Structure 1
């Protein structure tokens, strides 16, 4: 209970400071290049996410950062738990937005940052919204922004890798950007496996080698399975598995 209270107190207690900094950042937007502004905006969520993870008492081990290429990429990660986003924001130095359910818009401050981070909001109950989220993500990537997607669509809660929805392949193909697979393990042990109470856990993040546009184009209909199998192989290589 103590870790839960500390984590959620920090999560929402930090927001007024984040709001002030966002106002400062926006004033600098016209003076900075797109990449400079992305790094500036990313610095605040990265700091916030790092503070959250510190208060959970978890240890995050990251490997493969040398695999991060220059330019926009589509990050494709498995989705284990609610702490996947804080873990990845605090661990990946390359600025990125992500696809999020529209309910997040009800939170204070956070949606404003997400818009500046080039996140995409999705209404899962509306097919038109799902289609628009794909086109919006393609546009973000074409504009030079990296985006993270969880093709499982829902959290596995540590119960094994689920099937990947293939829509992300169209996004990468149309945007002509490489895919960077990410294998994340251990986040479900922070919250989901503890009756939603926060416990410390060992978390691993593996940034895998990029898959080029040529490689997944040649894979054709098997491209989604190619990405999934690489993540599955990385997860299977961990000692706990």
Structure 2
């Protein structure tokens, strides 16, 4: 039943997205880039909130007050489900873009708003293109735009964390922005464990303390991927 609701919701949103786009193009003429991103992020939040409601997902977020408001941030989270982005868009209230796989460009409706908030689509099979995407992310952070990455690189359908790709942490070291670690509990039970059926699940999102790279020990800086992974592991327990 929830699977059907989600499919119907996506179809309805796809139809009405034409009106959303028309209004956006009128809106952006008189607004700054920052205002355009904030507007697009709010619409993406509404779409994702509706999807979570249709799926029966109940979201509990802890640690939202730990997120700084006056600086760009690199959010780093574990990756368990197709629902991770809708979950995090509702858990994090400040506008952020994502580094995601290139296939997300084909997702109806959501891909439009993802492009408008500056999301970076990465083809992991192409090393040159992946480096280009990382450099683009570094530039966005330096320009003041927050970013979310999943350093495991793929969905891990189990409780334990996968290996964190060292290259993804260059986003933090090259831009020198604070890192906010996040752990999402149980998201794989919404869809992945009984695919293609969607199940109502209670989801907990734990947001950790900011990690300031300049304040870390030299050893932790050298092993930053492992350090961040351990911090997210602490949020899991």
TM superposition score normalised by structure 1: 0.91
Listed one character per residue, the Cα deviations across residues 80-123 of structure 1 (whole Å, up to 9, x for unaligned) are 11110111112211111101111222333433321111100111
Q: 1:166 to 1:216 in 2, by over 3 A?
A: farther
**Contact 2:72–2:177 (CA<8 Å) still a contact in 1?**
yes
1:140 counterpart = 2:140:
yes
The 8 Å contact of residues 72 and 144 in structure 2, kept in 1 or not, is answered as yes
Q: 1:92-107 counterparts in 2 under 5 A?
A: 92-107=92-107
TM-score (norm 2): 0.93
What secondary structure does 2:23 align onto? Answer: helix
User: Which residue of structure 1 lines up, in the alignment, with residue 19 of structure 2?
Assistant: 20
2:175 and 2:36 map into 1 onto residues whose CA distance is: 21
Kindly indicate whether the alpha-carbon contact (under 8 Å) linking 2:13 and 2:109 is maintained by their aligned counterparts in 1. no
CA change 1:133–1:125 in 2 (3 A) is same
What is the CA-CA distance between 1:193 and the residue it aligns to? 1.0
Question: Shift of the alpha carbon at 1:26?
Answer: 3.3
| Cα distance, 1:144 vs structure 2 | 1.4
Structure 1: 5+ residue stretches without partners: 237-241
> In 2, distance between residues paired with 1:29 and 1:184?
34
Bigger Cα displacement from structure 2, 176-185 vs 155-164:
155-164
Q: Is the CA contact (8 Å cut-off) linking 1:97 and 1:114 kept in structure 2?
A: yes
Deviation at 1:79, TM superposition (A): 0.4
Please state if 1:31 is matched with 2:30. yes
Query: Does structure 1 residue 64 correspond to structure 2 residue 63?
Result: yes
RMSD (Å), alpha carbons: 1.6
Structure 2: distance between partners of 1:29 and 1:176 = 31
| Aligned residue-pair number | 235
Instruction: Structure 2: state its 5+ residue gaps.
Output: none
Residue 51 of structure 2 corresponds to 52
Counterparts of 2:31 and 2:146, CA distance in 1? 18
